[in-house]
Amino acid sequence: MRIDYSPAELAPRRSVKRSVLIASLCAVLLAAVASREGVAKRQSVSADPALPADIASALEVQNDAAFTEAVQAALADPLPAPEPSDWVTVEVQRGQTLSQIFETQGLGFSESIAVTKLSRDAARLKNLRAGDKLQLRKSPESRLAELRFEFDGSNTLHVRRDADDRLEAVTTAIEFEHRQAKAVGVIENSLFLDGQRAGLSNRLLMQMAEMFGYDIDFALDLRIGDRFGVIYEELYRDGEKLRDGDIVAAEFVNRGRSFRALRFIDGDGNAAYYTPEGESIRKAFLRTPVDFARISSRFNPNRRHPILNTIRAHKGVDYAAGAGTPIRATADGKVEFIGVKGGYGRVVILKHGSQYTTLYAHMSRYRSGLRNGSPVRQGQVIGYVGASGLATAPHLHYEFRVNGVHKDPVTVPLPRANPLPRSALAQWKAESATVLAQLDAMAEQQLARSQADLAQQEP
């Protein structure tokens, strides 16, 4: 059910009053003219010798009463101006809180506290940001009657006072029109530069990198000539584009190998991506724990240590990144160790089931609240790049262990997540046929364009 309390426009009070005044003056003038004619008639009637004196006197009194009624009716306000709308739109200023907004609008501090306790979505009003907009309406008793707040771009919080004088909160989904759009590109510089040139937003580029990040190391594997095609949604409301939606399907061709991902939405509205055969593109582990970082030192059992100047096995991979770059857990698990460990400096070790552990070293700091035994989710930030311990510059040292044995994180085979359920596979394949045909057509167009460009370059 969609609830829409659209605020009424402010009534043009001044113009209505002006119109009423002009109408009243006109009526007075008409009444004056009528009275003058009445006086003339009374004079003619009273001067008429054919009428008896008592009848002439009665007509004169009647005309005087009609004149008085006309003047009083003209001076009355037969069209009262409507009251202006009670709705007020407030744009949140930097550092402004809900209680401060309520105070400026003549609402009590206790009401702001009561509103934030109504629901989890209402609690979002505790963390207003500059530029957010609130719509408020007060009751005649200067109490909150209604509040409306659009948050996260997809939902609207409605607060209103019910028949029992209690505040209630309801969250409704914003209705969007979904339109499909397409983009194709070729890697000539970097994923972000070439993706933006193809018309993709940073958000869509990040989503595509996350989708294919299990198979492609975008810090190491990209080559000039790699290509991509993306089918995605654009969200419109009232004919106006608000923002990009999610990727519907995508293809990335890396070093001649094609990777495709198609969206599947389950009965609860959760989206996941699968190959055209129904295999999950998601692996149990991410290939890299930092986004688009450069590998500065590879897995090497015979490496000479840059500080100690001795042969010491390098049992992981070093990713050069700026200090403060977020470090993400490569898989679901829990914290086995957090603290300082010799040359590793500040380190976090995560345990993933019974076989796997990952280590993240040289951190500048840990994520707030992280401690031994804390559960972590794949992709969750666990700390930030630094140069603690034996490090010559800010970087992340990452290790991957299987049953306690160090493996090269770049080449170790990674287990995949569960495939699409068989009960949904047949219908999903039928529904995805159109999208797959679009990806095929986009790939053919790219190849034809590339061949044409090569033909032009030949002498």
pLDDT, tens digit, 9 for 90 and up, residues 262-299: 999 988 888 899 999 999 988 888 888 998 677 888 86
Output the pLDDT for position 46: 44
Residue 238 has a pLDDT of 83
Give the burial class of 228: count Cβ atoms within 10 A of its Cβ; 0-12 exposed, 13-18 middle, 19 or more buried.
buried
The dihedral of CA 299, 300, 306, 308: what is its sign? positive
Q: What is the pLDDT of residues 26-79, one digit of tens each?
A: 554 555 545 555 444 444 444 444 445 544 454 454 555 554 454 445 444 444
Query: Is the pLDDT at 361 greater than 60, yes or no?
Result: yes
Of residues 405 and 28, more confidently modeled: 405
What pLDDT, in 10s, does the model give residues 112-155?
999 999 999 999 999 999 999 999 998 888 889 999 998 887 88
pLDDT at 399 over 90: yes
Indicate the burial class of 324 (C-beta count within 10 angstroms; 0-12, 13-18, 19 or more): exposed
Query: 198 versus 142: which is more confidently predicted?
Result: 198
pLDDT of res. 324: 94
What is the gyration radius of the CA atoms in the chain, in angstroms? 37
What mean pLDDT comes out for the span 349-359? 93
For residue 315, the model assigns a pLDDT of 85
Q: What is the DSSP letter of 225?
A: T
How far is it, in rounded angstroms, from Cα 444 to Cα 258? 13
Single-letter amino acid code for the residue at 180: Q
Query: pLDDT by residue (tens digit) across 237-265?
Result: 888 898 899 999 999 999 999 999 999 99
With tokens 């032009």, the residue in question is 456
In this model, does residue 3 exceed pLDDT 50?
Answer: no
Residue 6 has a pLDDT of 39
Distance CA(52)–CA(183), nearest Å, equals 101
Across all residues in the chain, what is the average pLDDT? 81
pLDDT for residue 12 is more than 50: no
Measure the CA–CA gap between 453 and 49, rounded to whole angstroms: 114
Percent of the chain with pLDDT over 70: 77
Which candidate, 236, 104, 167, places its Cα nearest to that of 158? Answer: 167
Token couple for 214? 């299990």
pLDDT band at 171 (very low <50, low <70, confident <90, very high): very high
> Could you give the percent of the chain with pLDDT greater than 90?
49
